[in-house]
Amino acid sequence: MENGRGEAEEGYDRAKEVKQFDDSKIGVKGLIDSGITSIPRFFVHPPHSLPATATTNPPPPPGSNLIPNIDLSGFDSDRRSIIVDQIRDAASSLGFFQVTNHGIPSQVLDRTVAAIKAFNEQPTEIKAIHYSREMGRSVSFFSNFDIYRSKAATWRDTITLRWGPNLEIGEIPEICRSEFVEWDRQVQRLGETLMELLSEGLGVERGKLKALTCNEGKTMVAHYYPFCPQPDLTLGIDSHTDPAALTVLLQDQIGGLQVKKGEHWVDVQPVRDALVINIGDLLQIISNDGYSSVEHRVLANHLHQPRISIATFFNPSKREDFHGPLPELISLDKPPLYRSFTLAEFFTRFFTKELGSKSQISYFQL
Ligand code: OGA
Ligand code: NI
């Protein structure tokens, strides 16, 4: 018997099992609720892509701050230049930082996480009504967007919201509707502030990234990582870089997000009320490698409590506009490292491959 990838495996039809799981519309949460104690084989990753143990790395030695925490208070006054320097340092090296005093009230963070939890903890048959991979919709819910392309599936279910002029608020499930609308409003404001600070960090005009509409196209992915009975054998999200200009991520206190630093995976330890910010592939290209889009992943959740997160990907709004390294950043000494391309080409490329390492960026490299 062949599993669709040319590997002969006696009696195992991987493609069929994947389709059955997807057709069942129960997601990984549904698998857990059905009482399974081992994970289906199509979730099992090859050993080389797995962490050595299910638990995260030992905590960093006291005093070392692997993921910088940047206090945004005073960003519009006296502290602005300090903040711009801190953001530039983090964005150009690790590509990740956390922000505190970002202006989004703590209750809004909690309500957003609670709403994602409430949606996912409804009866399976109610969630199944929303389960669909149709890309044309403003809102969809499914497990593993690349399940038919990836070599191994990962342990999470996801609600995707595509914000734009066509988003029908009424399409958002009522149980989390007002919370998502509020989250969008809050994160939009923070996104604009960050775009300005990041523009200044590059030494270009404050409004530059906004003028490129980098904060106008927004996709949100709200993830639910249920308990995984064999967390050593799979992941929550495979290692990847984000197909975005900028990502703003809200995570709860469970942990499991890791960033690649050199050859090591570093934990992004949850900080109460902080948000995680990371540079995406598009901003690495626009900044001509001034900023770095860095690989990250989420471990499968070994706790009996779900892990919840919501990532907002900021992108330019028009699919037909061309993007490439900013002319201001190009000189004889610094030639462009990438060709230009439309957003349409960028996303066509992203959605035809499995979630993976830096292959998206290298595709556009000159
Ligand atoms: C993503 C992502 C991390 C997380 O959705 O691209 O990296 O903590 N999410 O869920
Ligand atoms: Ni990501």
Domain ranges of the chain: 68-363
Which is the closest atom of ligand 1 to the Cα of 311?
Answer: 5
- pLDDT tens string 58-77: 555 554 558 999 999 999 99
**What CATH class is the domain 68-363?**
mainly beta
pLDDT value of position 50: 85
- How far CA 322 is from CA of 212, 275, 316, 341, 342, in Å, comes to 10, 30, 10, 5, 4
CA torsion 149-267-251-70 (nearest 10°) is -130
Which is the closest atom of ligand 1 to the Cα of 236?
Answer: 10
Out of 296, 307, 313, mutate this one to test ligand 1's pocket (max ligand atoms within 8 Å of CB): namely 296
Determine which of 26-35, 191-200, 261-270 has the lowest per-residue pLDDT on average: 261-270
Q: How far apart are the first and last CA of the chain?
A: 42
Nearest CA to ligand 1 atom 10: 309
- pLDDT tens string 72-105: 999 999 999 999 999 999 999 999 999 999 999 9
Q: How far, in Å, is the centroid of ligand 2 from the Cα of 279? A: 10
Cross-strand pairs, 217: 315
Residues flanking ligand 1, CB < 6 Å: 221, 223, 237, 242, 249, 251, 257, 296, 298, 309, 311
Position 159 pLDDT exceeds 80: yes
Q: Could you give the residue ranges of the DSSP H alpha helices within 212-350?
A: 281-286, 343-350
The predicted model scores a pTM of 0.93
Q: How far, in Å, is the centroid of ligand 2 from the Cα of 120? A: 20
* Bridge pairing between strands 217-225 and 257-261: unpaired
Which is the closest atom of ligand 1 to the Cα of 156?
Answer: 10
